[in-house]
Amino acid sequence: MTAHGRLFDHPAAVALTGAMVSLALLGASPLLAASATTRAIESPSWITTGFAQFTFYPPHNEYPPNFGLPHEDNVVARYSLAAEVTVEHLVSGFLARLYAFMPMGDSRPQIDYNYDADPICLELRGGLGYRFSRQVEAWVTYDRIVALDGFVSKDEVNPWLSLSVRVTPDEPWSIGSILSLRGFVEGSVYLPSYEYPASPGASPDGRQVTKFPRSQIINARYGIEMGAVLQPKADLLNRLFVFASPHFFFGRATTPHRFDATPTTAILEYGVGIQITRHIDLRITHSEHMNLGGAPDKLEKMMWNGVSLRFSW
């Protein structure tokens, strides 16, 4: 059976894909409406921003939604769908955000590389926030993974819940007359029993995750995330951009709950892209986990490379 047929024969995948497409259309609807009608008011009370993205992961570079397993059991993703919508009420400053991510595939590292598109899992993340100023906003965010047919790391993934503050400059910074830089910095605290699972596939004594209690997994109490996009100003080059989004985790929040800030792990994500139109870009991304000294030696790098087509509004 073809990859296309296998994906859309799965009832859950049909429903979830439909939901993600609806999510993207919901956020993009102001763009569609603006092309057909004139604006009724000078400054709308509500605005939406977001993106929808399709990613292809080449052989030997697949996205690893599972971890801590022998190769014959470790299902990795050939493709993924992602969508995010943020809604802001300009008068009150209240914000809401919904993110969905679904990796798809049925490959096994070093054993079977194929192009099937079986749904593996669905990550859902919802948040409520408040904007204190143009530069500062605060968020409460909840994230969990819904297991589908290919997800076999169920017992090792905690839902996480965080309180965070994000700071974003008003305008991009100019680096001479050549480059512009825009970005943000966000600090998070993960609440007790809902810490971030920051050491995938690693235990204190080096055993696989299937061989040790969940209480021994080292989760993070705190996180610092940064995002940056560097873009040339020259007319012939201003469609190109370089981006990076490192995420650093701190604390060894195993049972019992602890609040120390030992550096644990980091997720390093970076890449290059090109703007095809105002709302569409093509990007190449590399990502991997790094041990900052607080995680066990057997930490898996969770390395992947992807080629993505993104529609933003």
Kindly report, residue by residue over 62-96, the tens digit of the pLDDT. 999 887 677 777 899 999 999 999 999 999 999 99
Q: How confident is the model at residue 102 (pLDDT cuts 50, 70, 90)?
A: very high
For the chain, the domain total comes to 2
Q: Can you list the positions of beta strands (E) in 35-135? A: 46-56, 79-89, 94-104, 121-131
Checking DSSP bridges between strand 46-56 and strand 304-312, what pairing results, if any?
antiparallel
Averaged pLDDT, 299-306: 85
Same-domain pairing of 130 and 182: no
Same-domain pairing of 224 and 109: no
Instruction: Give the pair of three-digit tokens for residue 262.
Output: 């030992």
Same-domain pairing of 6 and 151: yes
Q: Of 155, 173, 203, which marks where a domain is finished?
A: 155
Averaged pLDDT, 14-18: 54
Same-domain pairing of 146 and 187: no
Same-domain pairing of 162 and 109: no
Q: Of 132, 155, 178, which marks where a domain is finished?
A: 155
Q: How confident is the model at residue 193 (pLDDT cuts 50, 70, 90)?
A: confident
Angle at 283 between CA 282 and CA 285, to 5 degrees: 160
For the cut 60, the answer to whether the pLDDT of residue 210 exceeds it is no
Position with higher pLDDT, 279 vs 147 = 279
C-alpha 167, offset from chain centre = 19
| Mean per-residue pLDDT over the chain, rounded | 84
Same-domain pairing of 310 and 255: yes
Same-domain pairing of 7 and 150: yes
Averaged pLDDT, 98-123: 94
For the cut 50, the answer to whether the pLDDT of residue 5 exceeds it is no
Identify the CA nearest to 127 among candidates 146, 109, 140, 114: 140
Same-domain pairing of 60 and 71: yes
Instruction: Give the pair of three-digit tokens for residue 99.
Output: 């993110």
Identify the CA nearest to 296 among candidates 207, 180, 220, 185: 207
User: Is residue 256 reached through a cis peptide bond, with omega within 30 degrees of 0 on the bond before it?
Assistant: yes
C-alpha 196, offset from chain centre = 13
Largest CA distance in the chain: 64
- Helix (H) or strand (E) holding 270, with range, is strand 263-275
Same-domain pairing of 173 and 305: yes
User: Half-sphere exposure (CA, 13 Å, Cβ side) for 312?
Assistant: 12
Q: What is the pLDDT of residues 223-273, one digit of tens each?
A: 999 999 999 999 889 999 999 999 999 998 765 678 989 999 999 999 999
Q: What is the pLDDT of residue 214?
A: 55
Identify the CA nearest to 80 among candidates 289, 301, 287: 287
Same-domain pairing of 150 and 168: no
Domain, as residue range, for 80? 1-155
Burial (CB count within 10 angstroms: exposed 0-12, middle 13-18, buried 19+), residue 9: exposed
Rg (CA), the chain: 20
C-alpha 54, offset from chain centre = 13
Q: What is the pLDDT of residue 7?
A: 45
Same-domain pairing of 135 and 283: no
In whole angstroms, what is the distance from residue 304 CA to residue 80 CA?
Answer: 12
Q: Of 131, 155, 179, which marks where a domain is finished?
A: 155
Q: What is the pLDDT of residue 310?
A: 98
Q: Return the bridge partners of 89, or none.
A: 46
Tell me the three state secondary structure of residue 106. Answer: coil
Q: What is the pLDDT of residue 199?
A: 77
In whole angstroms, what is the distance from residue 283 CA to residue 301 CA?
Answer: 22
Same-domain pairing of 127 and 218: no
Checking DSSP bridges between strand 160-167 and strand 280-291, what pairing results, if any?
unpaired
For the cut 60, the answer to whether the pLDDT of residue 204 exceeds it is no
Q: What is the pLDDT of residues 34-71, one digit of tens each?
A: 444 434 344 589 999 999 999 999 999 999 988 767 77
In whole angstroms, what is the distance from residue 98 CA to residue 126 CA?
Answer: 5
